Structure 1
Amino acid sequence: MTEQLTVAVGRRAARAILIDDRGRLVLIKRTKPGQAPYWTAPGGGVEDADASVEAALYRELVEELGAEATNASQVFLFSSPSDRGVAVQHFFVARLASLDESARSGPEFSDSSRGGYELDRVALRGDDLAAIDLKPTALKEFILANREALQVEAGVVS
């Protein structure tokens, strides 16, 4: 008889591997006092009011970037331990349709103690992506290994 382990999902998040028309990743450069800068995919927590994880993705893109995206397709799942169970991040590849930084409205912009959230674009071709600290590391490795397929999936032809 095998023993089953039940693990609670403490937090679920939706994040975008967001690609613009020039084949660049649209990322958030995070700066915090006393820490080296790092980059992260835009997105955030799934809320009870969200109809689905994908709906949370679209809402988060509007809040964090003032962006709309198309062709979203879940391509990567990442989990890590958290104080409330397991944190699960759903990563969707998507194509950037529009962006208006003045429309950014997430709670992170009203609390300066959370540090900086700077919009950045990083080329998928070449060595730019390899040179930055994209978190989580498993996401960076996944993107580097699948750059061409991600562009195709997002509908970006370069």
Structure 2
Amino acid sequence: MAGTTRPIDARGWLFEVQDLEAETETWLPIAGIDSWSMNPGENEETSENTAFDSEGYYEEDVMQRGASITVEGKFRIHKVTKERDPGQAYIDGDWTNRLGFDSHNPIRYRHNTQTSWVVWDATMSPGEQSGGNNDKTAWSATFRRNGKPTTAVVTP
């Protein structure tokens, strides 16, 4: 088996947000991403169970699991129409201002070598948009998983 496995390219990861206002199920790819990070321990909570009979060794149980994904990249527009990238526009224009129950929205992600998506019910915090003299405008968002993730088969 040695030598038959290879690392995968970070640029092969795909991230999409579901447009909840569309009449049919519509997933919008998020364009312009040039880096991403996942924290599978975000919002994890544990309960310490160490007692005298633990014989001096620490014990705990995980009581809550969480996770987050941050995507960072460049603010994108269509070079001819000047319209915003649909994924970024949905996040900034539709999702950002929602509160309470409405602050939830599905996202999904996978590597282009995988045959199924990981789907999260997520809340989102918009990131900073910034730039300087010789920069392109930066764009980012952080998604936090709510509940247990699910999967969905990739369909053409």
Q: Do they fold alike, i.e. is TM over 0.5?
A: no
Q: Which has the higher contact order (CA 8 A, sep 6+)?
A: 1
Larger Rg: 2
TM-score normalised over the length of structure 1:
0.29
More helix by share: 1
